[in-house]
Structure formats: structure tokens, C-alpha cells
Amino acid sequence: MKLAIVGATGLVGQEVLRVLEERNVQFDELFLIASAKSVGQKIKFKGKEYSVKSIEEGCELATDVAIFSAGGGTSLDWAPKYAEMGTIVIDNSSAWRMDPTKKLVVPEINGNEIKADDKIIANPNCSTIQMVLALAPLHNKYKIKRIVVSTYQSVTGTGKDAVQQMMEERQGIDGIKVYPHRIDKNVLPHIDSFLDNGYTKEEMKMVNETRKILGDQSIMVTSTTVRVPTVGGHSEAINVEFFNEYDLKEVRQILENTDGVIVQDDVKNNVYPMPINSHGRDEVFVGRIRRDESQPKTLNLWVVADNLRKGAATNAVQIAEFLMEKSLIY
């Protein structure tokens, strides 16, 4: 088993390495790949030092699996080339998510859709992953009609430079600018670029990816995505309308029995999910579970997860683990 991490020096790439170590994923050889400016850089993993290789070298290695966390442009250019060499690419960017020939996978929900001939597998958007993990079991039981979601997303979702901008602003330093406005002590209703319909790409990702992962194009979804000055952890206020009536106690039981979900919902004792407590965790946390009293068959949820973990690195590693468990790597 030869494994490559493409984008190994970035925030997500570094998190992938942490997840691989924590989960004790078994492989025979590991290759760390990054952009030309990082080639030759030394990275330690499990006590061993690795020298970063170029993306061209990584392709020639013909590894069994390559986890890509290097941006959409790189994925569009290089994922097909890696696939031609026989490598299974698990891609963290948005490049392949809505390609009808590619699977968009959250293993707990639709991992069984992966087949032996899938050479490029898309990892969903971070905000989509945590939402669908909470909603999929409820959709199976009550059938979702409509979702209204507002997100509160960490600067880590943008990358290292965004974290640096916020920290410099916090210290009164006029430094790097990733966002069009100040982010510290502020919120920006602006994630990714704006489209002609007035929504951002991030908002439309949540619409389109949710339908694809849940396998139901009839689900109505509307989204507002907001950047907030936190480090690690996305939060979401979700309002979901079902076709069928639900029982609140049963909803809690379903969520409590869902793999990868932890219910934190004891408002009398101020217990509810918060991003500060999700940092470094792989689970999706659900709380503030309550009936929408303004219309029937509608539920409110508050959902939190570490966007670099289940929202990116952990989900990608879980896909690799699934491939190994199902003997789809050979």
C-alpha cells in the first residue's frame, strides 16, 4: 500500500497526517507532495523524516492512493494524470464534486456507492459534510422536503493566510489581507465568490452537494454562509421541514444512534455544541434540538464540527480506510 498526500504542507494536509497517525492507518510507503516552493522541505511523521516531493514526482510514483488537498486548479490538472497511473485520488477540492461521473462520498452515508473503477473520488465541502451527517438518518426516516441553513464558519476554512490575517489584526498589525474586510471582531456574509444569482459558490455547494449525497434532487435547500473570527470549527443553524411528522424524542434517539454524531443538548445546564469544544475532534455535534413552532413537520438543529477534521481530513482518510476494508485497492 503506497500512499501520497498531495498538499502535505497546507492546513488540511497537515491535519491528514495527524488523522493518519491517530487512527493508525496501515500503509507500506508514504510520500509527501507539495508545490515547487516546498520541494525538499522536511516533515516528520511517526518519528521518521520525509522529504517533500514535487507533484510531478508524485505522479510518477504511481501510488495506490493519493489524498489531494492542494486546491481545485491543481486537482483539475493532476488528478486525471494520477488516475491514469492507476492511483485512486481522494480529492478535497470542489473540482470534481458535481461531476456526474464522480462519486461524492461521506462514508457513513454513501460509502457503498464506491466501485472498483472509481479512480477519482470527491470529498464534499466541509459545511456540507457536517450537515448531511446529521440529516441523513432523519431523511431516511421522515423524508426531507426543505432545508434552510445559516453557517458560522471558521477562518481555518480559508487557510493559513486567513488565520494569519485574523491574528495580525488582533495584535494591531497591518499585514496580510485575504478577506476584503477586517475579520477580527467582525463577521463576513461572504464565503467564496458571488454568483449571478446573488448567492456565493459556498452557498450553492451546500445546495447541490446535499442533493447529490442524499440522492434526492427534490430536496429544496437554501443557504447563507458566513465567516466568523474563530479558529477551528464550523457551526450551522439548520431548519429542516419533513414530509412526514416526527416525534422529538425519536429524533434524539436516531441522532444518538448515528455513527459519528454526538448529541449535546441539555439547555438547562447550558450544554450545547460549540466550536471551541469541537477542535481536534472527528465527530459532528448536534444540539438545540427543538420543534419549529411556526409551521408543522419542521425541526431546528444546531450542528458543529471541526472543519479541518470531519469536514476535510478525517472524511478523506475514512474514504481511504473504506477502500482498504472493501479490498478496492489492488
- For residue range 153-201, what is the model confidence (pLDDT) as tens digits? 999 999 999 999 999 999 999 999 999 999 999 999 999 999 999 999 9
Any idea where the domains of the chain sit in the sequence? 2-124+312-325, 127-307
53-78 pLDDT tens trace: 999 999 999 999 999 999 999 999 99
Helix axes 201-214, 126-142, angle to 10 degrees: 40
pLDDT of residue 280: 93
Query: What global pTM score does this model have?
Result: 0.94
276-315 pLDDT tens trace: 999 999 999 999 999 999 999 999 999 999 999 999 999 9
The span from the CA of 292 to the CA of 112, in Å, is: 34
pLDDT of residue 330: 62
CA distances (Å), origin 117, targets 18, 30, 48, 203: 29, 23, 33, 31
Candidate list 126, 181, 190, 279, residue with the active-site label: 126
171-180 — which CB contacts under 8 Å span 24+ positions?
Answer: 179/227
Instruction: Report which of 259, 326, 327, 317 is spatially closest to residue 121, judged by C-alpha positions.
Output: 317
The span from the CA of 229 to the CA of 234, in Å, is: 11
pLDDT of residue 315: 97
Asked if 118 and 222 count as a contact pair (C-beta separation under 8 A), the reply is no
Q: What is residue 309's DSSP assignment? A: I
3-class SS of residue 52: coil
Please compute, for residue 77, the number of CA atoms within 13 A of its CA located in the half-sphere on the CB side: 8
Range 2-124+312-325 classified under CATH 3.40.50.150: no
Tell me if residue 59 is catalytic. no
Angle at the Cα of 224 from the Cα atoms of 238 and 300, rounded to 5 degrees: 10
Tell me if residue 234 is catalytic. yes
- Residue range 104-132: mean pLDDT, rounded: 96
pLDDT of residue 95: 96
222-274 pLDDT tens trace: 999 999 999 989 999 999 999 999 999 999 999 999 999 999 999 999 999 99
CATH of 127-307, one of 3.40.50.12780, 3.40.190.80, 3.10.310.30, 3.30.360.10: 3.30.360.10
**What value does the mean pLDDT of the chain take?**
96
Candidate list 181, 190, 234, 279, residue with the active-site label: 234
